[in-house]
Structure 1
Amino acid sequence: MTSAQADALQRLWPRYGVDLADATQIQARFSRPAPLTLEIGFGSGEATLWRAQQDPTRNVLGIEVHRPGVGGLMLRAAQADVDNLRVACTDAVEFIEAMPSASIDTAIIEFPDPWPKKRHHKRRLVQPAFIAMLVERIAPGGSLLLATDWADYAEHMLEVLEPAPALRNTAPDGQGYAPRSAMRPPTRFEERGLRRGHSVFDLAYRRV
């Protein structure tokens, strides 16, 4: 963690930070209620800040446990004077569990840790129990957007998401992978994967 990131964590937390106790009344931590975009595991926060800047009519909440990434995002948000962004530095599952039902308009999971070794696949975030819990907190008509540059994780995502009764695949043919989302800007994570020869897989679902 750089000194600037550490300073931002302490100095800017009152403005941008949300704690687990805030999850039950998450809209109260923003300056006004608005449709909520939730990004789970934002890394350095490049895409999170971009989303907040691109659509100031929405509220954007990012959850990330990597403290340098959290500090860096808050620092850049303050420099850009962005007000519709909040950040939680905690376990995403615990935080989302505490959120009210139907409180999320759009949930985003992009380039999560692939846990590439087969014996570690059970550690992957996208699992049936987690998705069932997350979908309950997405409002009817809301979206779940995912992306990965690991082909076997993309297949795993489809295996988990396709049977979910409250989700409908919005890909053009109603199944499989979707075109790149307009809500997904290029990031260093994606560029790194492309340099390694990986393909990027997008998945898009709607809460029914």
Structure 2
Amino acid sequence: MQENKEDWLKMNDFNVDSASDDLHGGHSFGDLTGREDGGAVACDSSKPQQPHASARAILSFVRRSARLDARLEKAKQRYSGAYLLCIADGDGSLRVKSDLCVDSQWIEANWGNANPLIVEIGSGQGENIVAAAAANPNTNFLALEVYDPGVAHTMLLAGKQDLRNLRIAQVNAPDFLAACKSGVLAEVWTFFPDPWPKMRHHKRRIVQPSLAKSVHNALVAGGVWRIATDIEDYALHVHEVMDSLACFENDGDLRVSLPTEHVGKGNAQDAADLPHADFVESRRFDGRVLTNFERKGLEAGRVIHDFAYVVKK
């Protein structure tokens, strides 16, 4: 059954400002829209940011131990000095230092210039951000990645091209963004984040209201948060979190139909039979290369959902 998104918004009432990040215990889209009238929820990034790390924080990843093969170990030893930023609060920690302040002086100190800075959350094997850095030498790039093989592989790709405008930080992305001063970033990219398909794990998805607040604060006016996923249920999740926030404008012009209720890993096949509504998304971002991960998703028949949310300040 097809429904209009605006009609669906008006049928439900949920206050995002008073919500925790644990949003998706089987809720439908309408439960999370923000206001009874379907209006937008304010995003006040002028309020003090939360501390960089919290013992109660819900992480969007599971720390996996992985041995590096000889090639990646060699790359790590060779290129860490050039690319890896030491901003964690200790060896093996993913928390940022408590005194980290990401501002224009910090950029100047680490890149040697005042060029715009783009941050990718979860850069994986580094294919996308390395290609972007190579194609845009007058833009600074920072890859945030927690997994050792991804960090080392990104160094390997960047080192082969002797890139000077790319840095890597092995820290928790929400902590880093909370340390950013207002307007310090040009764009934030979150491409194909972990979908956490089980219903009880939806709260671990990286796109959450609290992160949206930090991203809004960190981005310059007119800056963009670009998101992509090949999981239909995650696309609904992005709309739930982002479309009701007055501080972001959905810059898309592509109309897509999505279920208005969530499914989990065990009942994903039921999505086609659920009520649907039309949503607005973006066309493919030209600056995103086709990675091996995305190619596998396409070969499996999954549809790519792109989003571009522009900051209003």
Q: TM-score, normalised by structure 2?
A: 0.64
Offset of residue 75 of structure 1: 1.5
Structure 1 letter corresponding to 2:82: R
Q: Where in structure 2 are the equivalents of 1:170-181 lying within 5 Å?
A: 170-172=251-253, 176-181=280-285
Alpha-carbon distance change, 15 to 81 in structure 1, aligned in 2, over 3 angstroms = same
**2:200 corresponds to 1:119:** yes
In structure 2, the residue matched to 1:5 is: 72
Offset of residue 14 of structure 1: 1.8
Quote the Cα distance in structure 2 between the aligned partners of 1:86 and 1:119.
Answer: 35
Q: Where in structure 2 are the equivalents of 1:62-81 lying within 5 Å?
A: 62-81=143-162
Work out the number of aligned pairs and report it.
208
Structure 2 letter corresponding to 1:179: R
1:99 to 180, 183, 195: 180
In structure 1, the residue matched to 2:231 is: 150
Structure 1 letter corresponding to 2:140: N
Check whether the contact 2:133–2:166 (CA below 8 A) recurs between aligned residues. Answer: yes
In structure 1, the residue matched to 2:86 is: 19
Quote the Cα distance in structure 2 between the aligned partners of 1:148 and 1:28.
Answer: 34
Quote the Cα distance in structure 2 between the aligned partners of 1:7 and 1:120.
Answer: 36
Check whether the contact 2:79–2:156 (CA below 8 A) recurs between aligned residues. Answer: yes
Quote the Cα distance in structure 2 between the aligned partners of 1:23 and 1:83.
Answer: 22
Looking at secondary structure, tell me which structure has more helix per residue: 1
In structure 2, the residue matched to 1:184 is: 288
Q: Deviations over 1:153-197 (max 9, x none)?
A: 001101101112210011127961110011111111111111221
Structure 2 letter corresponding to 1:199: V
SS at match of 1:37: strand
In structure 2, the residue matched to 1:136 is: 217
Check whether the contact 1:145–1:204 (CA below 8 A) recurs between aligned residues. Answer: yes
In structure 1, the residue matched to 2:142 is: 61
Q: TM-score, normalised by structure 1?
A: 0.95
Q: Deviations over 1:121-163 (max 9, x none)?
A: 0000001111111111011011110000000100110110111
In structure 1, the residue matched to 2:132 is: 51
Offset of residue 13 of structure 1: 1.6
**2:309 corresponds to 1:199:** no
Check whether the contact 1:108–1:145 (CA below 8 A) recurs between aligned residues. Answer: yes
Cα RMSD between the aligned structures? 1.5
Structure 1 letter corresponding to 2:296: R
Offset of residue 94 of structure 1: 1.3
Quote the Cα distance in structure 2 between the aligned partners of 1:183 and 1:202.
Answer: 12
Deviates further, 67-76 or 57-66: 67-76
Greater RCO (CA < 8 Å, at least 6 residues apart): 2
Check whether the contact 1:132–1:164 (CA below 8 A) recurs between aligned residues. Answer: no
**2:110 corresponds to 1:29:** yes
